[in-house]
Structure 1
């Protein structure tokens, strides 16, 4: 089996070599150049190509930390095949720790992009046509936003045996079936015939050790299953089998006020269990938030102030039995 030719941003990637290629899209308004390094490792032995990405949203630093660790620990150096690591895609947002691009657009809603479109659209176009085209698999790392903490979870669309298998191998505590959103990175990969796992965990502006470890260990398991993981790395089994979620719903605040959750993300709760409380600043009001249904808490609002109607908890309503 011969090695196929791989080209990233015009650079031919030869077997058995390491590369750092600059993802150069645009300069800052100060005329300063911004080069986003893409770290590529290619084995002499043929095998699949896996693309690790993070920072599509600039404030999701925990995903960046996961890919950083894959590089720093040498996990990205494959026994066979090729790995491509992009720790920060939205470098403009990352500089300011903001979710969007300077043009106000969400990068994950403009794929596959346009060559001469908006700034975000140009980045999407270049990523798809000059990088992602070479990948067989993509692992894309995200976090919760707007002060909401996500339990570590893999998100996939229903109906794919291969995605189910890979999600189980990754070993996150939860696997959430969710549709491929229009103009997202995930649906673009799907249309290109590329297998993608989207990992969500933690919250924006925050690095959590448990979330990081879950992401790194999941990446190692996937690489191991593909025969790519270096022999010096150990693969741990997940503590529990992944819970596959087929339906879930948000529980919202009935009152405005100061909010404090009293249950941990990932906990299974029963209907009417106390999940937290909403108070006023003057000590006159204290409302206990009770679970409206039985299920796992897969996301919790960690904002100290909430308004009536705000999402407080994301609770599973239906899970798939273990096979």
Structure 2
């Protein structure tokens, strides 16, 4: 009788194992590997900063076979609690995907020395805290060239969120690229004081159009809505945003975070990770311009040729986009 029960038990265990492989094998594999979490300040559906974070996380999960988790719409006040929860649940690599989570990250990292934290452009580092920058200012230089070259009024606009170093670098590069193309161009700029406030971004963009801007750099959600309403060109950011304005979004500066998250995750697995600022830009294939979706027909071929030549120069190292994080007047 005992042998019969033993046989039945072994059969049930075998059936359970087969079912696990068939229906949940990926979870079983993930459980034994690296666990990566990301905390984000906005929705993953924003086609912007948070979408880039989410897409990069999923790409790294596929490349590394890692288990991943994320939290979206996390306020600065809740960041420390959410980060601490992931660390306590065994996530060994945690991305604090916001410029404003730095203090929260450092506080949690001190209590979890065996967990690696990556904070978006952190003000300072720690032995287990690194940072990662978004060198989209390299693409912003190209966008500025393109915007100035496509503008008929020779006035272009730029609308961003908060005057963080990364945003300042983006604006200054955009302005530098524009003036390199058209020295007399006028570049308007606005910081709306929030990372996610579409109505306010739209309002700021419309104000720039009313001042003569006919090309807008959309560094926040809502700017493309203004471009659509006023029938002016927009230059998208982070993802290909043409679907938000098929007749107005000329192109977008893309940021692919997947290669960076994958590289950081591999370094953590290999125990070669070091506390530093990680930056993947045009030379690493992480920043580029999206497809023009046929709208380049309205841009001078000379402008397009100049932009392509500058992209190639940046990629090869022949030209370095100036990194300027000084305050904007």
Give TM-score, length-normalised by structure 1: 0.31
Bigger share in helix: 2
Instruction: Give 1 or 2: higher strand fraction.
Output: 1
Question: Whose radius of gyration is greater, 1 or 2?
Answer: 2
Larger relative contact order, structure 1 or 2 (CA cutoff 8 Å, min sep 6): 2
Give the TM-score, by structure 2 length: 0.30
